[in-house]
Amino acid sequence: MNYFTELPFLKFENAYSELQRLLEHKILTWGKQNQICLNSVESEPENYLLGSGSLTLDWDNAVQKSNNGSLNISPIKIKNPLTESDFTILCNQFVGSVFEDMYVLITSKYRVGRVRLMQSHPKTCLSWHVDNTPRLHYPLKTQEGCLMVIDNVARHLPVNTWWMTDTLKKHTALNASNQSRIHLVCSILPD
């Protein structure tokens, strides 16, 4: 039952300041799902938002039903979705940045799908869900009250540490703090 394994990889302590620089210079903006994808498909090397959100479920157009005052949200399945293995090239915006160095490190060790920057706003939580691949996490910005929960085991992942997480089990992430939390999250594909 080891859902979190810390990995002894190189730390990239300037990644958060590099992200801030890219955002301030409007090279990047957060997408609707508060995500930025480091990699894309070959035909769209500039599209750092293509891999944002779910590849299979459309949460933006989800059906909301109310039963006796209780809200139920049902996402719509995406027809002909992209797959994790479609994301094979680093987006042009990251070439020459610390994120290219991180991408090179990750891809030298694993076969990867999407590599995303994921932002959680204060006082928010993801739905309880299962991913189809394990995920590698690298917290760029986090603080007390930011937790990942896998199969009811909660853990705070400290800034500038690498973690392999067993997201094949039911899990969520929550931000109970008063500041944003930002992780680099990478889908690890089978060999």
pLDDT at res. 165: 98
Mean per-residue pLDDT, 100-117: 98
pLDDT at res. 59: 79
Mean per-residue pLDDT, 161-180: 98
Mean per-residue pLDDT, 105-118: 98
Q: How far apart are CA 55 and CA 57, in angstroms?
A: 6
> What is the residue range of 12's domain?
4-188
Beta-bridged to residue 149, according to DSSP, are: 154, 172
Residues whose CB is less than 8 angstroms from the CB of residue 39 and which lie 6 or more positions away in sequence, other chains included: 51, 87, 88, 89, 90, 91, 103, 112, 114, 115
Mean pLDDT of the chain: 95
pLDDT at res. 60: 80
Main-chain phi, psi angles of 77, to 5 degrees: -70, 135
Closest CA to 33 of 62, 4, 71: 62
User: What's the total number of domains in the chain?
Assistant: 1
Q: How far apart are CA 2 and CA 150, in angstroms?
A: 10
Rounded to 10 deg, the angle between the 15-24 and 98-109 helix axes is 130
Per-residue model confidence as pLDDT tens digits over 36-80: 999 999 999 999 999 999 898 887 877 777 777 787 888 888 898
pLDDT at res. 37: 98
More confident: 185 or 65: 185
Q: How confident is the model at residue 1 (pLDDT cuts 50, 70, 90)?
A: low
Residue 174 belongs to a domain with what CATH number? Answer: 2.60.120.10
CA distances from 143 to 47, 74, 83, 136, 175 (A): 30, 32, 32, 19, 9
CA distances from 161 to 1, 130, 151, 156 (A): 20, 23, 22, 11
Report whether 138 contacts 6 (CB < 8 A).
no
Closest CA to 186 of 103, 125, 120: 103
Q: Each residue of 23-50: b (16+ CB within 10 Å) or e?
A: eeeeebebbebbbbbbbbeeeeeeebbb
Per-residue model confidence as pLDDT tens digits over 133-152: 999 999 999 999 999 999 99
Per-residue model confidence as pLDDT tens digits over 21-40: 999 999 999 998 999 999 99
More confident: 16 or 73: 16
Among 76-90, 135-149, 164-178, which stretch is predicted with the lowest mean pLDDT?
A: 76-90
Length of the chain: 191
pTM across the whole model: 0.93
